[in-house]
Structure 1
Amino acid sequence: MSTDSTDSTGTAGTDTDTTEEVATPAGPARITWRRAAGPRLLLALGHGAGGGVEARDLRALADALPAHGVSVALVEQPWRVAGRKLAPAPGRLDEGWRAVWPALEGEGLPVVSGGRSAGARVACRTAAELGARAVLALAFPLHPPGKPERSRAGELLGAGVPTLVVQGGRDPFGRPGEFPGGTEVVEVPGGDHGFAVPKRAALGQEEALGVITGAVREWLTRE
């Protein structure tokens, strides 16, 4: 494992973010650590196929959770670190996640595997084999927009560990009511696939992010 650390100002838990590069078969991945003081859990979060770890939900969780004893690791896949615009096939994404896992386990904490969109799919597909404590699926792409018959529910149901889905109320990749019975789903009212809410919505953007961080914080107290 190769390491390249830099610091930037943090807002909770510790004073700095630390970045670390991890070798994978597809090139280096990057972990941005936001460590808690006296952590009890580590939440690892992967990004989606259309963006990186700067996504509003990932950053909100990294800001909020360390103050509650949960360290956060934001994981950038090798394709993103390399500056490529298109994500590789799911199998390659899983390969990158597996390669990063030893660095996550090296913190000596139970690891909750998670991510948004494509990253949530990766977490679900690999959770059981990697020994994840649980899975957090943010904006899980249950199906392509307008094609509910092409369901990916099997990936979600096959995670094999406790799973929480946080889903926007108007997400075209699957609205909360479309998920299989028995799935634990938290709805972000008015949220789209990126959890953005309309300007005239009853729930403001910061309030929407508060729904996410509050629900995840409460769920992690049970894990």
Structure 2
Amino acid sequence: MGSREAERDAVLRALVPVVDGIAATFGPVCEAVLHDYRRPEESVVAVAGSVTGRTVGGAMSEIGLRVLARGDEARDELNYVTRTGTGKLVKSSTMVLRDSTGAVFGALCVNVDVTEVDRVQQLLSALAGTAAGPSQAPVTTFGDDIDSVVDALLDEHLRRQDQTWPALDRTRRLALFRGLDERGVFAVRRSVEQVAGRLGISRASAYNYLAQARTTAEDQGRPRMG
């Protein structure tokens, strides 16, 4: 185990100058972020650029949590577009890092602010008479605080249910916990307590719902998370 951890540390150290090089090559609209998934709450080990405002020691985003939840089955996610909470349109790629055994332990992410490019494209389309509606990219929470990421994912799931927690029946409550689990929320320390507090239920109840959701997922042939 010690040699494997040393190998992972060496890979991360080797990629630090790559992070700087990527950001320097593409300029101020580009950000490169290096993540160590062994520490989800403070996964950022190197960052260059400021598209999402992340700093070293910051937390992974909900995208990172999703990759983490997939474990060694995770695949690179390339050239996807999201929108930050401040309205920036960001094109990103997330490339997973594996050790010599094939185990996923981190990721190298590249984020490019394409907000102005999108505006120019909309303007040119309007001038050409082929204007389409504004880009509808999903909003992603980026921040150094993992609690804000967990809160955003919980809020998203509740909005999708279009009901408050007390109004949900048992099936939908289990679906909510299963959805959070599949997004990697419960890989974060103290996340069960945080979710319980937000929902106004006891920690024991939250753990019970999570256990039932995982059992249901296994019965339906889904992989268990965590």
Higher normalized helix content (fraction of residues): 2
Q: Comparing both chains, which one has the higher relative contact order based on Cα–Cα distances under 8 Å and sequence gaps of 6 or more?
A: 2
TM normalised by structure 1 equals: 0.29
Mark the structure with the bigger radius of gyration. 2
Higher normalized strand content (fraction of residues): 1
